[in-house]
Structure 1
Amino acid sequence: MTGSEAPARRPAHTALLAELRRGIAPWTGLALALTVLVPMWSKASQWQGSWGETQNLLHSAAALLGGPLVAAAACWQGGREHRRRTAELLLSVPRGRLAQVTTAVAPIVLWAAAGYLVALAAAFAATAPYTAAGGPSVSVVAADLGFLMSIGFVGFVVGRLVRWRLIAPVSAVCAYVVLGFPGYLDASARFLSPAQEVFLEGSVPVWWFAPVLVTWTGGIAVAVLLGYAARRRHLAVVPLALAITAATVIAHTGEDLFRDDPAVAYRVCTKAAPGTPQICVRADDAPVLPQASEALRGMFSRLEGVPGAPVRYVRNGSEPQDGEAALASVGRGWGITRNRLTDPHRYVYDTALGLVNHNCSAGPGEKGRKQDERMARTTDAVISWLSGEDSPWYPDSRQLARLEAMPDAERKVWLGRFLAVPAHCTPAEVPVL
């Protein structure tokens, strides 16, 4: 480096370091980290143990809450010269307008990125001890970072152009509305919103997800920046054209931006044993298997020797095949917390309900109503007997007493007939108890 080059570069470098240490930029990073972590921590039971759920909520909080925050902070930074009445002074600075703008906004976007990464590291550290399969998506992280930095550049230019002290909070409100509204649409164009909910529970984005999303949001930011600060403003057409192209690809692809994650979708089953059905769940729920097996042991013992009883219970999002039955549908925060069943008794009851519940109806009329009630009481008695739980619907059911009083061999035959009733039936097909 020559002696003439050093003085030209040192002032910009020094100014950037000074801006990184003072003003609202460091507070923006801290505020963003807290804005993301506080709502996540309040819902920790819903995402700890699942990489997909962790990134679902992390993405939503960063984009829908963090995005408007960064826009407001950058907007306030952009209006600083107007508030200090030093805007005219900048005209005498030898550096170009684009370099000035980049130096002024860089601390905001860099601290915003740092705040997001701190929140991301904390969330990943909290979920990692409970995960069993899959992994975090680097593509989603890159897309979120690109969006937070892009909205910072746009907010800064708005602050430079609009000389109104309330423009920063107004820009945050407008950003929140613009980001959140597409989520209520059914069209594939809703995926153009960087805050659109991602589908990472058992899914992964396509390989080109991050480049296209970053091109969409970054292209708009670069176009706005060049249109405002570049000497040759017509150059803004290039990033704008790239952004429009990326937007077309995103809107055309829609939900196909995500595909099944093979690392999570495959089944993990308990070992087969004579007289004991297998339990199969998705790979990410594998840590729940021992507790699920223990909870269902009593139900399995009651069904042992019953003709037509399932040999496998599955929960993987697909319809059970012949010889299979569905496990109770429980999710993180709604029955599973940190790989533990929060209510094993309810888990058994819901599994029994899914096994024997029939969609039967005798039709209108008094006779039909009585038949429907008889069928409902019979089904409820079977569920209560299998699960060992008192019925919330017919706690004084005479049908349950009859079922309990049956000899073991007779009860197994009757239960076999009951399990053989098709899902869509008439009450007359349900054996009388």
Structure 2
Amino acid sequence: MTLVDDRESRGERDGAGSRESDGRKGTGRGGPRAWAAHPLRAEFLRGIAPWTGAALLLVLGVLLACTSRRWQGGWGETAQELHTALVIAVPLAVAAGCWQGGRERRRGTEELWATAGRGPLVRLAASALPVAFWLAVGYLAAAAAAMVATWPYAQGDRPQLASLPAGAVAVGAAALAGHVAGRLVPARPFAPLPALAVYAGLAWAEYASTPWSYLSPSQQLGGTVVPVWWQPVAMAAWTGGLAAAAALVYAARRRYTALLPLAAALWAALLLVQNGPALWVHNTLADRQVCDTSVTPAVCVNARYAGMLPQVTGALSGLTGRLEGVRHLPARWADRPGGPRADEVELPMLTPMGWHQVRGRLVDPQQYAWEALAALQYGDCPDTQDPHRAAVDDAVEHYLAPSPFTDDFDARDARGSAADRAELKARLVARGHLKAMGEAQRRAWLSSYFATTRDCDAKGVPAL
């Protein structure tokens, strides 16, 4: 009986030893059980860290949805909006990091952590990096959602992704710097204060025109520019280097190690400040025109919106059809940076989005055609206030591309003073004369009319 018991006891011990050996193999370095038991797993997957990323995604999602009319449909506008969103994302990251940084002292577990085998820098990284990681993921997720929302409505440009990694680094760096601030001042009411200070600095940089503005991660000159290849690298070195230097000064045993990231940050800042506007170059696609030469004048749109050419041509089809055979017209309507060239008139602007176009569609084709005709009629000529010219211009406008508000203006003048009613009568007479002309006579008259508009000659306008 004793022998059996001894064997059973040895078998149990052998089984236990085998299980312990298997456990050690499963939890070895790099094994799946090692990560399951690692302290960072709880920090990454539980607690405040994942929720900060979700909160940032929600905030940016709401903001982007509320402003979608001005960016959805243009890759440059989408990139600009995501860049501007850093004005909100970075202060929120600072506040979240600051809150996390004061956690241990508020809980009263700071002395317990000090007895751990790890050094202060490792303990700071274990607490700060999960928050920084999830906030960066939240920003990138919002950026990805914005890109997906733009994709169906893009009209000719290409995605601009160069600044997104630098933006994610700026958000993560803000969380790390906020964590250090929270360690220094762990009081709950303190967390919003550095966030407000950062927000004020970023907002100032958006409107200030100083070289220091180019140190802001949210600074951009517009949707028609793209960064030079090294600008995102320098911006990431500037923001990430500052945050890393702050963490090393606070927690590293050898604080002089902070000099390396600090030197990288200062070098990057010097590059950003010295180069200023040269950090951004015009999108080469914005200098190209895509034209429909089957009509006169030809219709040209910026290549960034090449997909909108059929819509624009269709909106102007009534106008170009009535101008067929008319002489002394410019060669084309053009939509190029810096204004039209010789023998061109400016096409009504397709940007900023939300005015003439929303999500790749013209909002009001009739209004668009009327504004295109106004460029033909007046160009850069000053308003002469000549009553004869006003009546003739109104007749041409009413025949070629009437304003959507013409009937409202006529009704208002009919109820107005005697002078208003006299002007209305003169306009109606001029409209009737132009409409009553034969096709050949009207083309000849319109040719004479447009010959005077190019020279801003009010006295030479033919009578009606």
Q: Give the superposition deviation at 1:246.
A: 1.3
Q: Give the superposition deviation at 1:51.
A: 0.8
* Equivalent position to 1:167, from 172, 177, 190: 190
Q: Give the superposition deviation at 1:42.
A: 1.6
Q: Give the superposition deviation at 1:36.
A: 1.1
In structure 2, the residue matched to 1:248 is 270
In structure 2, the residue matched to 1:412 is 443
Aligned-partner SS, 2:299: strand
Q: Give the superposition deviation at 1:390.
A: 5.7
Find the aligned partners of 2:382 and 2:161 in 1 and give their Cα distance: 51
User: Is 1:279 aligned to 2:293, yes or no?
Assistant: no
Q: Give the superposition deviation at 1:422.
A: 5.5
User: Is 1:387 aligned to 2:427, yes or no?
Assistant: no
Query: Radius of gyration: which is bigger?
Result: 2
In the TM superposition, what whole-angstrom CA distance separates every residue of 1:213-268 from its partner, at most 9, and x where no partner exists? 11111111111111111112122233222212211211222222111222443222
* Equivalent position to 2:230, from 183, 208, 211: 208
In structure 1, the residue matched to 2:6 is none
Q: What letter is aligned with 1:342?
A: V
In structure 2, the residue matched to 1:41 is 65
Whether the 8 Å contact between 1:358 and 1:424 is mirrored in structure 2 is: no
Q: Normalising by structure 1, what TM-score? A: 0.89
In structure 1, the residue matched to 2:90 is 67
Find the aligned partners of 1:207 and 1:276 in 2 and give their Cα distance: 41
In structure 2, the residue matched to 1:116 is 139
Find the aligned partners of 2:442 and 2:231 in 1 and give their Cα distance: 57
* Equivalent position to 1:338, from 344, 359, 362: 359
In the TM superposition, what whole-angstrom CA distance separates every residue of 1:321-375 from its partner, at most 9, and x where no partner exists? 344322211322111122211111011011001111155569xxxxxx8x53433
In structure 1, the residue matched to 2:15 is none
Mapping of 1:205-354 within 5 angstroms?
205-270=227-292, 272-273=293-294, 276-331=296-351, 332-354=353-375
Q: What letter is aligned with 2:332?
A: R
Unaligned runs of 5+ in 2: 1-23, 411-423
In the TM superposition, what whole-angstrom CA distance separates every residue of 1:69-108 from its partner, at most 9, and x where no partner exists? 1111110000001110111222211111111111110110
Aligned-partner SS, 1:139: coil
Whether the 8 Å contact between 2:244 and 2:258 is mirrored in structure 1 is: yes
In structure 2, the residue matched to 1:53 is 77
Find the aligned partners of 1:118 and 1:252 in 2 and give their Cα distance: 33
Greater Cα offset, 278-287 or 25-34: 278-287
Q: Give the superposition deviation at 1:408.
A: 3.0
Find the aligned partners of 1:390 and 1:87 in 2 and give their Cα distance: 71
Mapping of 1:178-189 within 5 angstroms?
178-189=201-212
In structure 2, the residue matched to 1:78 is 101
Find the aligned partners of 1:171 and 1:115 in 2 and give their Cα distance: 21
Whether the 8 Å contact between 1:384 and 1:391 is mirrored in structure 2 is: no
In the TM superposition, what whole-angstrom CA distance separates every residue of 1:132-155 from its partner, at most 9, and x where no partner exists? 333223320011011001101100
Whether the 8 Å contact between 2:345 and 2:379 is mirrored in structure 1 is: no
In the TM superposition, what whole-angstrom CA distance separates every residue of 1:179-212 from its partner, at most 9, and x where no partner exists? 111222112321211122353x232210101111
In the TM superposition, what whole-angstrom CA distance separates every residue of 1:9-35 from its partner, at most 9, and x where no partner exists? x69971211011211111111111111
Whether the 8 Å contact between 1:133 and 1:264 is mirrored in structure 2 is: no
In the TM superposition, what whole-angstrom CA distance separates every residue of 1:263-317 from its partner, at most 9, and x where no partner exists? 44322222x33x5443211222122111221221111121111111233222122
Find the aligned partners of 2:275 and 2:310 in 1 and give their Cα distance: 40
- Evaluate the alpha carbon distance shift between residue 205 and residue 13 of structure 1 in structure 2; reply closer, same or farther with a 3 A threshold: farther
Greater Cα offset, 137-146 or 373-382: 373-382
Q: What letter is aligned with 1:326?
A: E
In the TM superposition, what whole-angstrom CA distance separates every residue of 1:34-58 from its partner, at most 9, and x where no partner exists? 1111111122222222111111112
Find the aligned partners of 2:37 and 2:151 in 1 and give their Cα distance: 39
In the TM superposition, what whole-angstrom CA distance separates every residue of 1:364-392 from its partner, at most 9, and x where no partner exists? xxxxx8x5343333323322321044664
Q: Give the superposition deviation at 1:394.
A: 5.8
Q: CA RMSD in A?
A: 2.7
Aligned-partner SS, 1:427: coil
Whether the 8 Å contact between 1:356 and 1:379 is mirrored in structure 2 is: yes
Find the aligned partners of 2:441 and 2:64 in 1 and give their Cα distance: 53
Whether the 8 Å contact between 1:308 and 1:323 is mirrored in structure 2 is: no
In structure 1, the residue matched to 2:124 is 101
Whether the 8 Å contact between 2:378 and 2:456 is mirrored in structure 1 is: no
Whether the 8 Å contact between 1:380 and 1:394 is mirrored in structure 2 is: no
% identity of equivalent residues: 38
In structure 2, the residue matched to 1:366 is none
Find the aligned partners of 1:418 and 1:244 in 2 and give their Cα distance: 63
